[in-house]
Structure 1
Amino acid sequence: MSPNFLNGITLLLVYQLVGEVSTRLLNWPVPGPVLGMLLLFITLLLSDGLESVVEPASSALLSHLSLLFVPAGVGVMVHVGRIGSAWLPISMALIFGTLITMAVTAWVMVGMQRLLGRRSTHAA
């Protein structure tokens, strides 16, 4: 393991810890890792050299991303009886959640195209 990887993974874990502790202390209804990612994102926007520290660890984690789905798959298999008894609400949530996500994504894309189209016409 290279020192760059260790520095990057340490930084990622510190941000996750800061997010977790912050949400518990402030009693916020946001998962700690999500707040940690938001803080890391803000830090990356404000800092120039931090990307080179985080990149080796994030690339290594992303290359093994499929392994992170194993616990979810095990959870589904453990609770297959519960899922079978509540198939209708689960199916409706999946269908409507997907449709809402697609609609919001399309709306954001159209809005961004209009915004970027206006900027390019003003720049020309």
Structure 2
Amino acid sequence: MIVSLTVILLCQLIGEVVVRGFGWPVPGPVLGMLILLAVLSLRDRVKKTVPEFGRTLDSTGKGLLAHLSLLFIPASVGVVQRLDVLETQGVGLVVALVVSTFVTLVVTVVAFVVVSRLSGSAMENAHDGRPGETP
């Protein structure tokens, strides 16, 4: 577990160092996740040399996900500490949240419809949609 937790935190650290070093406008942990994705894609090769690496990395990741809600406590405390900002900018924040949620839903629906039309055309030719019949 220590090795896999070290790998996860090392990927985040590398991402943070690269982002700050190059001045990229991307959060360091996001680049760290991409690096971790690369590590995980190469995991099968590493499993041959360190057999327990894959198993412990999976269990450590599941353990972190099980307690993910604890990571929202600092953010909640930060919001409570800055209630003055929430009071002055609250309406703008609510409008931004509602509009961005709506735009996200619309874009998701449009993407789903486009993908379903592109992939569903072959399915529609095979099955005309009457219940009880198989193609």
Cα separation, partners in 2 of 1:36 and 1:94, compared to 1, 3 Å:
same
Deviations 1:92-120 (A, max 9, x none): 11111111111222233334434544677
Alpha-carbon separation, structure 1, partners of 2:29 and 2:58: 18
Relative contact order higher in (CA < 8 Å, ≥ 6 apart): 1
After superposition, the CA RMSD in angstroms is 2.5
AA in 1 matched with 2:2:
L
- The 5 A counterparts of 1:61-72 are 61-72=64-75
Partner-residue secondary structure (3-state), 1:28 = coil
Q: How many residues align?
A: 119
Normalised by the size of structure 2, how large is the TM-score? 0.75
Partner-residue secondary structure (3-state), 1:86 = helix
Task: Mark the runs of 5 or more structure 1 residues left unpaired by the alignment.
Answer: none
Cα separation, partners in 2 of 1:41 and 1:82, compared to 1, 3 Å:
same
Cα separation, partners in 2 of 1:53 and 1:100, compared to 1, 3 Å:
same
Partner of 2:103: 100
Alpha-carbon separation, structure 1, partners of 2:11 and 2:107: 29
Which residue, 81, 86, 93 being the options, matches 1:83?
A: 86
Partner of 2:8: 12
1:53 CA displacement: 4.2
Pair 1:21-2:24 in alignment: no
* Regions of 4+ moved over 4 Å: 118-121
Identity %: 39
1:43 CA displacement: 3.1
Deviations 1:36-94 (A, max 9, x none): 10121133234424643421111110111110110111011111121011122111111
AA in 1 matched with 2:7:
L
AA in 2 matched with 1:55:
D
Q: Which has the larger radius of gyration?
A: 2
Partner of 2:62: 59
Alpha-carbon separation, structure 1, partners of 2:122 and 2:9: 39
Normalised by the size of structure 1, how large is the TM-score? 0.81
Task: Mark the runs of 5 or more structure 2 residues left unpaired by the alignment.
Answer: 48-52, 125-135
